[in-house]
Chains A and B, each alone.
Chain A
């Protein structure tokens, strides 16, 4: 679109748009830019000072909510875990919890512990992904390669537990699909000890590195009042001094029976957001240790559904540690009513609202994802900073475009 300036009738392109004065430069980043992900930013610059940023989402919109309304509820689990494929257990745990409330079924204690275990493995993998991306946005290739390489350790643990590297489809209404494999505790302990050492190296080479500190310290400060006003969630909220975590607010999985701290920092800058993630990785490893120590014996799938299996299959489930679904799972009927649930993902709180109307498909399925709630930060944190700070702030937010688009 061409615009003509009032003075002299000179025709300017949209890129040199006249916004009050001609020194404002409009810059489009993405949707194919490597730092933007699947989204576009419309950045207005004065010199190299950012005047405004408009995050333009919608480039990976897959109508997940509508698709989920057109299929049987059990089929929504593999569908919706593709929203945040790097954190696929946490993203579906909320849905499974909402379905369990509607179907009136409770997972047995062992299943609750196993859910916690995979959730925490996913959280570590998700934070490592975020830290790696943040590293490459500052041209710190070492951080990127280290974080992605170490993520492999946690993906391998998740694969041992669920049989799949990324799309675990582990929790289903009534429990989980696999029991703890033999020797898992030993593997997890080795992974934790390795990661503890590596986190010290991460600090030395990345977060304590004066070059990186200069890019992060005091950059993109999110004040406590602003964070609560904008409804920010996850580590971005906790780095601004607000102690809110859905694991504490909502009693789900086995979190109420485990001891852990919620890392909080007061600074609210990009560095604080990254440090909160490092602390959360440490807390997650502590939770994994506690789960493996405290996990109770017993079934990992609800008696309500196990009863529907013929006796030989029931014995097989107990012997092999792998679930067998009763035939009714292919067409589970959701009773009339609503259920809501919230779960803490690596990126923040995810919220589900499922409405049943007595059919096999949900009448309405609503998801509010953490990245969708955090995307507003691009508009509020960037102005006033130099353009060089744009990737630094973006990386520190751990924003995941496909999750916001759903």
Chain B
């Protein structure tokens, strides 16, 4: 150190700052799956399909940038109905934004795990069921994120 006196003061300041956070930590850890942070309004999670509103126009499949959404031919319909492959889906929400009938909707659920790759391919029948978060189904405490000027983020019971 070329300037030991002035450096000493700065060393002390650095150590004091470290000590401050040792004594008063501002951790934002969430103990998932015992706790579950609810995403904000408008979060782009798993997609839900409402078959009764669908006019089978196919725009959702046309705009999908990842080719995750495809039109499935069913026995009852002449035109196809959308199904999604979650192996490919990037959750951009273009399909929801282009749907002229609001037949697609993005839910807040994003933590679903699948046992096999085949289950990630969701045909129209399964696509129309409400996705369920395993943490919420397991009785996790729901938390919401709150901005705090002292700690940055805090989590409160929702």
**Which A positions have Cβ atoms within 8 angstroms of B?**
71-72, 74-75, 77-79, 142, 149-150, 152-153, 156, 159-160, 163-164, 167, 169, 177-178, 181, 186-187, 189-191, 193-194, 197-198, 201, 204-206, 208-211, 214, 310, 313, 316, 322-325, 327, 329-331
Contact = CB atoms under 8 A, between A and B. Distances in A.
Given A167-B90, A201-B17, A327 B152 contact: no
A177 B147 CA distance: 24
A331 B59 CA distance: 10
B104 to A, nearest CB: 12
A74 B97 CA distance: 13
B60 to A, nearest CB: 9
Contacts of A178: 42
A205 B94 contact: no
Interface of B: 1, 7, 10-11, 13-14, 16-18, 20-21, 28, 39-44, 57, 59, 62-63, 65-66, 90-94, 97-98, 100, 102, 106, 145, 147-153
Nearest to A198: B152
Contacts of B57: 327
Given A163-B43, A193-B149, A208-B10, A313 B1 contact: no
Contacts of A160: 40
A160 B42 CA distance: 8
Contacts, number: 121
B92 A78 contact: yes
A293 to B, nearest CB: 18
B40 A325 contact: no
A78 B42 contact: no
Contacts of B17: 201, 204-205
A168 to B, nearest CB: 9
A330 B153 CA distance: 39
A123 B40 CA distance: 22
Contacts of A156: 145, 147, 153
A152 to B, nearest CB: 6
A163 B42 contact: yes
A194 B98 contact: no
A161 to B, nearest CB: 9
A74 B39 CA distance: 27
A309 to B, nearest CB: 8
B14 A159 contact: no
